[in-house]
Chain A
Amino acid sequence: MELRSYIIRRLILLIPVLFGVTIFIFGITMLFSPIERASLYVTDPRQMGNLQAVIELYGLDQPFWVQYGNWMGEVLTGNLGWSSVVSMPVWDAIWHFMPTTLELGIFATPIIIFTGVFFGTQAAAHKDRPLDHGTRVAAIFGWSLPTFWLGLVLLMVFYGYFTGLLPPSRLSVPMELLVNSAEFTRYTHINTLDAILNLNGPVLLDALRHLILPVITLIVVQMAFIMRLMRSSMLESLGRGYILTARAKGLPERVVVNKHARRNALIPVLTVAGYLFAGMMNGVVITETIFTFKGIGWWAWQSAVRLDIASILGFALFNAVLFVLVNLVVDILYTRVDPRVRLGGTIQ
C-alpha cells in the first residue's frame, strides 16, 4: 500500500474516535443544568452576567443532538468556552500556558530518552549481573514513587535545607520583572530560549535554577518505564542470529551491543512515544502544581479544584485530540523506520 493512502485511511479511522471522544465529553456536560453549562459557550466576560441570553442563543434547552451540534460547531471554530480561573477564553488559556509546559517538556524529554535508553541497554548487556539488578530495583522504585511526594521532599531539601538553592515557581521576582519589562523581548515565552535570544545570562541561569527540581520530578516515572522497555527489547535483539554473526566475525562487544543490537532494539521503543506523551501530560499536572510552575498543568489543576467545568473539559478534549494525533504520527514514523513493517500491518 502507498504511504499516502495509508495516511488517508488512518485519518478516516480517526473520525469515529474523535466523534466518540466529543460525545463523551459533551455527555459529561449534560450532568449539569443549562445555567452551569452556559459557561461552555461564553467568550466574553460581559456575557456571564446574562446567562439566560446565552442559553437561548445556543439552544441549551433543546434536545441532546441539537445541543451537541451547536457545541461541535463552536468547538470547531475554536470556541471551548470561558475559563473563569484565569478570566480568558479556554482556547486562549491553553495557548497562554503552553510555552511554560513546553519548556518543561523540552528539558525532560531528551533526558528521559537518553538515560532510559542508555541504562536499558547496559542492563540488558549485563543481564543478571549487579548492574542489571541495580537498574531493576531503581526502576521499580521509580515507578512506585508518588511523584507529588517526591516533589515535596526535593523542595524540603533543596529549598528548605539548602536555603533557597532551588526554589519553586518559574523565575525569581526580580527576574520576572526584568523579563516582563521593555528591555526584554519575549519571542517565545519559553524563558530559557528567550534569555538566550536576548543574550541575557542572569535570566538564563535563574530559569535553569527553577527548572531543575520540576524536571527531576517529571522524569522519574517515565525514565523507569523507558529503561525497562529498552532492556527487554535489547534482550530480544541480543538473541537474534545477526548478533551471533557479528560476534562470530570478531567485532568488539561494544560495537555488537551499541550498533547491531541497540539500533534494532530502538524500534519497539519508538512505538511507545505516544504513551510517553500521555504520561508527560499526566505528570505535568502534578509537577506544575507542586512547584507553582504556572503552565497548562497548573491551570488544569486550578480549574478542577474550582470546578471550572468549561476549562477542565476543554483541556481534556484538547489532550485527547493531541494524543490521537501523536499516535498517528508515531505509527507513520514506524513504517518508515522499520522496513520490515509493511503498511498493511503485516510483517514479511
Chain B
Amino acid sequence: MSDWKFMVRQLAKNPLSMAGIIIIFIFVIIAIFAPLIAPTPEGHRDPYMIPRDGYSATPTLPSEEHIFGTTEGQYDIFYGVIWGTRSAFHVGLVVIGIVLSVGLVLGSLAGYFGGVIDEIIMRLTDIFLAFPALILAMAIVAALGPSLRSVMIALTVVSWPSYARLIRGDILQVREEDYIEASRGIGASNFRVIMRHVLPNAIYPTLVMASLDIGAVVLAAAALSFLGLGAPEGYADWGQLTSFARNWIVGPTGDPLKYWFAVTIPGLFILFFVLGWNLLGDAFRDILDPRLARR
C-alpha cells in the first residue's frame, strides 16, 4: 500500500498535522491515565461525578489543593477537565462509530442498488438535512429529556445523513468500474461484491475524513451541555464546566478578572481538543484532494 506510505510521509512533512497528532496524543494519554492524574477521592462513588469541596457558589482561586481552583458550587476544575477528557472521547467515539455504521450501511445500499432503494434513502436524508443541525438536536434533546445519552442520540440523528450521502457518492463512482463488472460476471453475490470490491475501493478516504469529525461532534456536544441540555449537574463535562462560569465573568470591583480560571480553563480544553482533530483533518483534506493530487 504505497498510498498509505505516501500519506504518512505527507503528514510527517507538515508541521500543522504533526501539531495535531501531538495534541491528540496528549489527550489520549490524559484520558487513559485520568485515575492517576486526578485520583478519585476515597469514598467517592462515581468517578465521573466531580468531587465538591463545600457548597458555596463563589469560585475559589487556584491553590495547592485545587490546582485550577474550583468553579461555581465548589466543583474542582482540574478533576473536571481531566475526567472530562474521557467524557469527550466517549461521546465522540460512540457518535462517530454509530453514525459511520449507519451511513455505511444505508449509503452502500443506496449507491449499489440504486433505483427505489436509493430514492427512499435519499429522500430520507433530505428530511433530516432540512433542519439546521443544532436546532434539530436541541429539539430532540428537549423531547427525550436532557441527558448525555439524549445528546448522543440527537447528534447521531442529525449527522448520519451527510455520511450516508458521502458514501453513496463514492460508491456510485466505483460501481461502474470494470473489476466490479468482472466480479459480478464470475458469479459473486451482491454481499461479496460490496464487501470485497466496492467498499475497500470506495470509502477509505471518506472513513479517514469522517473519523476526524470527532472534534466537531465533541464541540457540538459541549455546546448542548453548555446550553444546559447535556450532562447532569456535576458530571465531568467541559461544556457544563464552562456554563458554571457564566455568572462569574466579571469579578468584584477592582479585580474584574478575578475568576479568569473558571471562565477560560474548561474552554481551552475544548478548543485544543477540537483543534487537534481539525489540524489533522485539514492536512488529510489536502492530501486527498484530487485537484492537488501528486504528480
The residues of A with any CB-CB pair to B shorter than 8 Å are 16-18, 20-21, 24-25, 28-29, 31-32, 136-137, 140-141, 143-150, 152-153, 155-156, 159-161, 163, 232, 235-236, 277-279, 281-282, 285-286, 289-290, 300-301, 303-305, 307-309, 312-313, 315-316, 319-320, 323-324
Contact = CB atoms under 8 A, between A and B. Distances in A.
Interface string B256-270: 110010011011001
A140 B16 contact: yes
Closest 6 CB pairs of A and B: A149-B267, A20-B127, A282-B134, A160-B256, A160-B250, A278-B132
A153 B263 contact: yes
B132 A140 contact: no
Nearest to B243: A148
A236 B291 contact: yes
A140 B267 contact: no
A156 B131 CA distance: 33
Given A20-B127, A160-B250, A149 B270 contact: yes
A207 B276 CA distance: 38
B139 A146 contact: no
A137 B229 CA distance: 31
A143 B274 CA distance: 9
A247 B278 CA distance: 36
Nearest to A289: B227
A160 B16 contact: no
Contacts of B29: none
A292 to B, nearest CB: 10
Given A282-B135, A286-B223, A320 B257 contact: no
A129 to B, nearest CB: 15
B188 interface: no
Nearest to A239: B291
Contacts of B59: none
Given A156-B250, A289-B227, A146 B271 contact: yes
Nearest to B215: A144
B130 A324 contact: yes
A17 B126 contact: yes
A144 B291 contact: no
B227 A304 contact: yes
10 contacts: A31-B144, A141-B275, A146-B226, A152-B249, A156-B250, A160-B251, A161-B256, A281-B134, A305-B142, A313-B143
Given A144-B278, A323-B130, 11 more contacts: A17-B123, A20-B124, A24-B128, A28-B140, A146-B271, A278-B133, A286-B134, A305-B142, A315-B139, A316-B135, A319-B131
Contacts of A324: 130
Considering residues B130, B136, B243, B246, which has the most beta carbons from chain A within 10 angstroms of its beta carbon?
B130
Interface string B156-199: 00000000000000000000000000000000000000000000
A300 B144 CA distance: 16
A281 B132 contact: yes
B127 A140 contact: no
Contacts of A32: 143
A278 B128 CA distance: 13
Interface in B178-236: 215, 219, 222-223, 226-229
A299 to B, nearest CB: 12
B282 interface: yes
B81 interface: no
Contact of B131 (A155, A236, A305, A323): A323
Contacts, number: 164
B218 to A, nearest CB: 10
A285 B134 CA distance: 9
Given A28-B140, A304-B142, A282 B127 contact: no
B242 A136 contact: no
B249 A319 contact: no
B279 interface: yes
A112 to B, nearest CB: 16
A149 B138 contact: no
B104 interface: no
A315 B132 CA distance: 11
B245 interface: yes
A319 B135 contact: yes
Interface string B66-100: 00000000000000000000000000000000000
Considering residues B133, B215, B227, B257, which has the most beta carbons from chain A within 10 angstroms of its beta carbon?
B227
Contact of B132 (A16, A160, A282): A282
B141 interface: yes
Nearest to B250: A160
Given A156-B260, A304-B141, A149 B242 contact: yes
Contact of A313 (B139, B141, B246): B139
Given A136-B282, A160-B250, A160-B257, A153 B267 contact: yes
B135 A315 contact: yes
B130 A140 contact: no
A140 B17 CA distance: 12
Contacts of A25: 139
A313 to B, nearest CB: 6
Contacts of B257: 156, 160-161
Contacts of A281: 132, 134-135
Contacts of A279: 132
Contact of A305 (B132, B227, B279): B227
A177 to B, nearest CB: 24
A159 B138 CA distance: 29
A148 B245 CA distance: 11
